[in-house]
Structure 1
Amino acid sequence: MMSRLIGVGVGPGDPELVTVKGVRALREADVVVVPVMDTLERGRAEATVLHYVDASKVVRVVFALNERTDRARREAAWDAAGDRVAELLGRHGTVAFATIGDPNVYSTFTYLAQTAGSLVPDLVVETVPGITAMQDLAARSGAVLTEGTEPLTLVPVTAGAAVLKDALEGPGTVVAYKFGRLAAEVATALRETGRTEGAVWGSALGLAEESIRGASELESELEVGPLPYLSTLIAPAPRDGGRGGKL
């Protein structure tokens, strides 16, 4: 029996943003794996998946998603997850792994596929693309990601605020992922590069607790409390307002 592992992007949280192909892959799979933290609470991927498949075919697999400093602990979690998925592949023909966003953009699926591929001979790995948080935020806020010849830079702020500042000093649109814990540094980088105006950030997109704000409100929001870790920022490229000016 051929073993297939399919990474399915289920979008940022709104179940209506799962593609038709993604829904079909989830429903046709023998098992749907969803990543959870070691606290075992239901994650965003699982909440989305349950709109389309019965809970009986959903299997939670622990990843150290909240681990940022202890590499050994993180890799041990990856190894354990790979072992669990390899076990499932041994008993079932097709296993789908549901990941928020897209499986090829900063996804835990990358690590899982590498590990499972080393454990399961002739494993076939496929991916189904998903809507990303930057696309959803652009749609919900009205921010235009790119025009004409403008570049687009995607930065995980977990790499450091300096990386973001370097990108903001360039000519194109900059998208920042996972910046909640460094929101103060992000606000400073925007201000120092003159990119605050027109920039927007959002979290929990498509969910009841959705929040979308102008970047000028970042510092005042921090006075209320910390931002969610999975916050997304769009700082559009400077534009003169003319139609087709960047062609």
Structure 2
Amino acid sequence: MKLYGIGVGPGDPQLLTIRGKRVLEQVDTVFIPGDLAQTIISGYVSASNIVEIQFPMTTDKDKLQKAWQTAADHVVEKTDDKAAFVTIGDPSIYSTFGHLRRALRNNHSTIDIEVIPGVSAATAFASAFDVDVVSGTNLMLAEAPNGTAPTGPDQMVLLKITDVPTTHSKLTEAGYDVWYGRRLFMEDESTVITQNPDDLEDRDYFTLGYARHQDIRFPSIGGGENNGT
């Protein structure tokens, strides 16, 4: 048995890689973690070949461990030869697939697993915000749920910002300018790019931020060069 972990990109079906598309068209079964992933691949995969796997929304480690193992067992049970598990972004960056892969390796070690990279929001943000991440400065990738706000590096890409106003307050107090993007490259016309935290008061898992410290000299958003904005 072989399982492909395929990153389908940040939301636009056209940002799926050629390699990912070819594999999706060849496998017998495609496992998905939710509706958004299915929307992205719907033009490449027959609905009859798609199997959804549910993961609980909880921070309870024991429940999550059990859910990942149940999912791994389900994948093995439903796969005869070759299958794929698709995930938003890249399979190796803050992805559900990482948990599934560990569960498979722990209890189904004979399975051949191949990862096919995808365009991640952690890199696609630069195109959406029209900014160059230049050499000579450091860049950190981190999650920022529930109002958390990591600080320290010159630049940060923060994923899963679920309390934008609180995170924004902490970051600006620490001397950062921040741009936010919600549902970048998604085709449901819900994309938002803003510096105003009041535009994003409601919680949405698909919200990220780009923060850069005001004391560091950067090319400005949209071109030119400045200190801060």
From 206, 209, 222, give the equivalent of 1:233.
209
Query: Where in structure 2 are there 5+ consecutive unaligned residues?
Result: none
From 4, 16, 19, give the equivalent of 2:17.
19
CA shift, 1:99, in A, is: 0.3
Query: Which residue type is aligned with residue 174 of structure 2?
Result: T
Distance 1:15 1:60, change over 3 A: same
Give the SS at the match of 2:171: helix
CA shift, 1:88, in A, is: 2.0
Identical pairs, percent = 29
CA shift, 1:240, in A, is: 5.0
Larger helix proportion of the pair: 1
> C-alpha separation between the residues in 2 aligned to 1:93 and 1:7?
15
On the 8 A contact 1:13/1:48 being kept in 2, the answer is: yes
**Are residues 1:49 and 2:41 paired?**
yes
From 191, 195, 207, give the equivalent of 1:211.
191
Distance 1:208 1:160, change over 3 A: closer
Larger strand proportion of the pair: 2
On the 8 A contact 2:53/2:71 being kept in 1, the answer is: yes
Query: Which residue type is aligned with residue 145 of structure 2?
Result: T
> C-alpha separation between the residues in 2 aligned to 1:72 and 1:241?
46
Give the SS at the match of 1:59: strand
Distance 1:240 1:232, change over 3 A: closer
Give the SS at the match of 1:84: helix
Query: Which residue type is aligned with residue 143 of structure 2?
Result: P
> How many residues are paired up?
220
Query: Where in structure 1 are there 5+ consecutive unaligned residues?
Result: 37-42
* 1:221 corresponds to: 199
> C-alpha separation between the residues in 1 aligned to 2:73 and 2:218?
54
**Are residues 1:176 and 2:168 paired?**
no
* 2:167 corresponds to: 186
Query: Which residue type is aligned with residue 239 of structure 1?
Result: R
In angstroms, what is the RMSD of aligned CA positions? 2.3
**Are residues 1:61 and 2:59 paired?**
no
* 1:107 corresponds to: 95
Query: Which residue type is aligned with residue 137 of structure 2?
Result: E
> C-alpha separation between the residues in 2 aligned to 1:129 and 1:62?
22
* 1:35 corresponds to: 33
**Are residues 1:82 and 2:72 paired?**
yes
Distance 1:120 1:170, change over 3 A: closer
Give the SS at the match of 2:48: helix
**Are residues 1:154 and 2:136 paired?**
no
What's the TM-score, normalizing by structure 1?
A: 0.81
On the 8 A contact 2:179/2:211 being kept in 1, the answer is: yes
Give the SS at the match of 1:227: coil
